[in-house]
């Protein structure tokens, strides 16, 4: 395609504090969110005749780490096809040559809100259970494909007004191959599993811990383990769930084990204290959420 014709396909528009250079098929851009991986806006796609979300990756090639994250997100979104995983509709760059190449735009399905907003609503047990079920379906599909998300948190889970749920943001995701060194700097602090906090090797079950923390937050309306740093995060976990067994401690390296063993021992809170009955009003004939919470918390521990 000649240069002039290509240039006519794009236009520039300021979205929040960023400038987007997008295809003319995308109009009415409005900022809807931002994060470490990029800035997201809503737009109307005249080709598909539907609203979409456009994510501009933030400086994806400034270093090797950013480049890997951008590549992972693009590849995984192209490969994964599941109703509870956000769908990739298009990907483009306005640059014309490899030397100029610096911006990547991902076009995705547009949802109505993220789970941070939903948690603040008073949802009934049926809707809470349905949202949890969809989270687990999406994670099960990823794990079956050998993919660990590694950054599950409410802001990376989006919903529509009809209560359908999708998981997004795969910048930290990776394959669950054995024998590979796994970085401990994954998962937003509140949702990190003990294996991650303590620098142990970990597997796909770290995502299940994150789902458990998210589910508890949905029920309680507040973060379950609001640590201020990784040490305080560990203290919050053992204060509420209890000091782990000696068998678990023996899996730690010597310096970490010494620190953990020198901490006061905690018996942990009872289920009734973590999730008091007042959180489960008997106003639904399908009141199964309490049993679901108990089962999942037992599995996480």
Active site residues: 151
Per-residue burial over 261-295, b if 16 or more Cβ lie within 10 Å, else e, is eeeeeeebeeeeebbeeeebeeeeeeeebeebbee
Phi, psi (rounded to 5 degrees) for 178: -80, 150
How many C-beta atoms surround the C-beta of residue 94 within 10 A?
A: 19
Q: Exposure string (b/e) for 119-145, b if CB count within 10 Å is 16 or more?
A: beeeeebeebbebbebbbebbebbbee
Return the SS3 of 71: helix
Which residues make beta-bridge pairs with 214?
none
Pairing of strands 38-45, 174-175: unpaired
Give the N- to C-terminal CA distance of the chain in Å, as an integer. 58
For the chain, give the longest Cα–Cα distance: 70
- Length of the chain, in residues: 301
Structure tokens at 100: 């100029």
Give kind and range of the element (H or E) at residue 298: helix 289-300
Is 50 in contact with 101 (CB distance < 8 Å)?
A: no
Q: Could you tell me the two tokens for 18?
A: 């960023």
Tell me the pairing of strands 157-159 and 165-167: antiparallel
């Amino acid at each position: 395609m000649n240069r002039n014709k290509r240039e006519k396909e794009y236009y520039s528009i300021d979205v929040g504090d960023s400038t987007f250079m997008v295809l003319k098929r995308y109009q009415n851009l409005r900022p809807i969110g931002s994060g470490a991986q990029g800035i997201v806006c809503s737009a109307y796609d005249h080709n598909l005749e539907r609203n979409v979300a456009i994510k501009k990756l933030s400086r994806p090639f400034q270093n090797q780490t950013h480049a890997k994250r951008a590549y992972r997100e693009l590849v995984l979104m192209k490969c994964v096809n599941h109703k509870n995983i956000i769908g990739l509709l298009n990907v483009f760059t306005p640059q014309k040559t490899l030397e100029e190449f610096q911006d990547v735009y991902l076009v995705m399905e547009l949802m109505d809100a993220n789970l941070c907003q939903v948690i603040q609503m008073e949802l009934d047990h049926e809707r809470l259970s349905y949202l949890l079920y969809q989270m687990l379906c999406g994670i099960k599909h990823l794990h079956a494909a050998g993919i660990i998300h590694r950054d599950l948190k409410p802001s990376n889970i989006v919903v529509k007004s009809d209560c359908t749920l999708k998981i997004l943001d795969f910048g930290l995701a990776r394959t669950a191959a054995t024998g590979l060194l796994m970085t401990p700097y994954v998962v937003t602090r509140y949702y990190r599993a003990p294996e991650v906090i303590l620098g142990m090797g970990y597997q796909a079950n770290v995502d299940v811990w994150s789902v458990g923390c998210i589910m508890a937050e949905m029920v309680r309306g507040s973060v379950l383990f609001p640590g201020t740093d990784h040490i305080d995060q560990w203290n919050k976990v053992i204060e509420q769930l209890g000091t782990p067994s000696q068998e678990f401690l023996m899996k730690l390296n010597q310096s970490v084990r010494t620190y953990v063993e020198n901490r006061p021992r905690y018996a942990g809170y009872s289920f009734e204290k973590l999730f008091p009955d007042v959180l489960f009003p008997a106003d639904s004939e399908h009141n199964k959420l309490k049993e679901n919470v108990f089962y999942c918390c037992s599995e996480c521990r």
